[in-house]
Amino acid sequence: MNRIEARLVKRLPAAQDSPAFELNVHLEAQPGITALFGPSGSGKTLTLNCIAGFMRPDKGRILVDDQIYFDAAAGVHVPPQQRRCGYIFQDHALFPHMTVRDNLRFAASVAGSKGRGLNQHRRLNELLETFELSDLAGRKPEQLSGGQKQRAALARILVTEPRILLLDEPTRGLDARLRESFYAVLRKTRDRLQVPILLVTHDLEECFELADSVCVMERGAFLQCGLRDSVFHKPASLEIARWLGIYNVAPAEIEALDPGRNTSRLRMLGYEIDGPYLPGHLLGDRGYFCVRQSEVTVSAPDNGKSHNQLVLNVVDRNPCPRGIHIAFEHDFAAVVSEAEYQPLRGHERLKLHIPARAVYFIAK
In terms of pLDDT, which residue wins out, 352 or 185? Answer: 352
Residue 123 binned pLDDT confidence (cut-offs 50, 70, 90): confident
CA distance 244 to 112: 43
CA distance 189 to 208: 17
Q: At what angle are helices 146-158 and 176-193 packed, to 10 degrees?
A: 10
Residues in the chain: 364
Q: What is the pLDDT of residue 299?
A: 94
- 69, 78 in Cβ contact below 8 A? yes
- Residue 327, pLDDT above cutoff 80: yes
CB-based contacts of 322: which residues, under 8 Å, 6+ apart? 335, 337
Partners of residue 76 on adjacent β-strands: 71
State pLDDT tens for residues 190-231.
Answer: 988 889 999 999 999 999 999 999 999 999 999 999 999 999
Helices and strands in the chain: count of H runs, count of E runs: 9, 21
CA distance 275 to 97: 61
Strand order, beta sheet including 32-37: 85-88, 164-168, 196-201, 32-37, 213-218, 221-227
Q: What is the pLDDT of residue 112?
A: 61
CB neighbours of residue 313 within 10 Å: 11
- Residue 115, pLDDT above cutoff 70: no
Provide mean pLDDT across the span 18-41.
94
- Residue 114, pLDDT above cutoff 70: no
What type of residue is 81? Q
CA distance 80 to 164: 12
Q: What is the pLDDT of residue 8?
A: 97
Residue 113 binned pLDDT confidence (cut-offs 50, 70, 90): low
What type of residue is 161? E
Q: Calculate the alpha carbon distances from 110 to 84, 106, 157, 301 in Å.
A: 11, 6, 12, 68
Q: What is the pLDDT of residue 306?
A: 74
Residue 174 burial (C-beta neighbours within 10 Å; 0-12, 13-18, 19+): middle
Q: What is the pLDDT of residue 353?
A: 96
Q: Mean pLDDT in the chain?
A: 90
Provide mean pLDDT across the span 263-288.
96
